[in-house]
Amino acid sequence: MDIARFIDHSILKPEITEKELEEQIAKCVELKVYAVCVHPYWVKRVVQLAGKELRVCAVISFPFGMDTKEQKIYQCLECVEKGAEELDIVMNFSALRSGQVDYVREELLALARNTEGLVRKVIIETAYLSKEQKVLSVELIAESGMEFVKTSTGFFAMGATVEDVRLLLDVSKGRLKVKASGGIKTKEQAIQFLSLGAQRIGTSNTFKILS
């Protein structure tokens, strides 16, 4: 299995320097990684560095998802203008946990309307959701017309689990692809999630996994 072509390499730690960013992008190009995920601030520079060798993904409202709907839309549009081809958008899981389902639905629909033609992955932060809330999240994302549900930001207590990936795949019934992300540190973990049916792996441990 060519794991590299499923990997979204994450460069999301706030202390990253431009030199470190350049080194990681060069390594991703060398290893033929599929995509790289960065904060909006670095999108323009990464597009320059990646050329046509890597897809550039911007994270939106990362890692909490608590920007307003309008702020999220603006972030998306600005990142697209700078050259991002994919967006990893953090759902407002605080609103979902609060029972504000209509707000979450409208936010997802508005984001989808404003970003047609891109690959959109919605991060639901599974560590903080009940099984019922995970199922509801899948339904809302599928309803919006976006392409992926993603397990986690990797910035909280727990990342991707086998149970969660299975659940998201089962509930999606082919309507959404699944990106397993958060805490994936080994080649064995990556292969396990891909074997379950995940279509993307999000990790900052890419170079260790592919070594």
Q: Which of 8, 150, 164, 177 is catalytic?
A: 150
Kindly tell me if the per-residue pLDDT of 8 is higher than 90.
yes
pLDDT of amino acid 151: 98
Kindly tell me if the per-residue pLDDT of 1 is higher than 90.
no
Residues 14, 186, 179: CA angle, nearest 5 degrees? 65
Does the annotation count 164 as an active-site position? no
pLDDT > 70: percent of the chain: 100
**Nearest alpha-carbon partner for 192 in 163, 171, 152:** 163
Please say whether the dihedral angle defined by the alpha carbons of residues 30, 36, 41 and 43, taken in this order, is positive or negative. Answer: positive
Residue 72 · residue 43 · CB < 8 Å: no
Q: What single-letter amino acid sits at 20?
A: E
Kindly tell me if the per-residue pLDDT of 157 is higher than 90.
no
pLDDT in tens, 166-207: 999 999 999 999 999 999 999 999 999 999 999 999 999 999
Does the annotation count 170 as an active-site position? no
Q: What is the CATH number of the domain that holds 97?
A: 3.20.20.70
Peptide bond before residue 40 is cis, with ω within 30 degrees of 0:
no
Residues 14, 17, 21: CA angle, nearest 5 degrees? 100
Q: Residue 7: which domain range?
A: 3-209
pLDDT in tens, 158-172: 999 999 999 999 999
Q: Which of 88, 121, 164, 177 is catalytic?
A: 88
Number of compact structural domains in the chain: 1
Characterize the bridge pairing of strands 177-181 and 200-203. Answer: parallel
pLDDT in tens, 35-92: 999 999 999 999 999 999 999 999 999 999 999 999 999 999 999 999 999 999 999 9
Does the annotation count 88 as an active-site position? yes
Distances in Å between the alpha carbon of 179 and those of 14, 15, 98, 106? 22, 25, 25, 23
Q: Which of 69, 72, 134, 179 is catalytic?
A: 179
pLDDT of amino acid 66: 98
**Nearest alpha-carbon partner for 40 in 73, 70, 1, 8:** 73
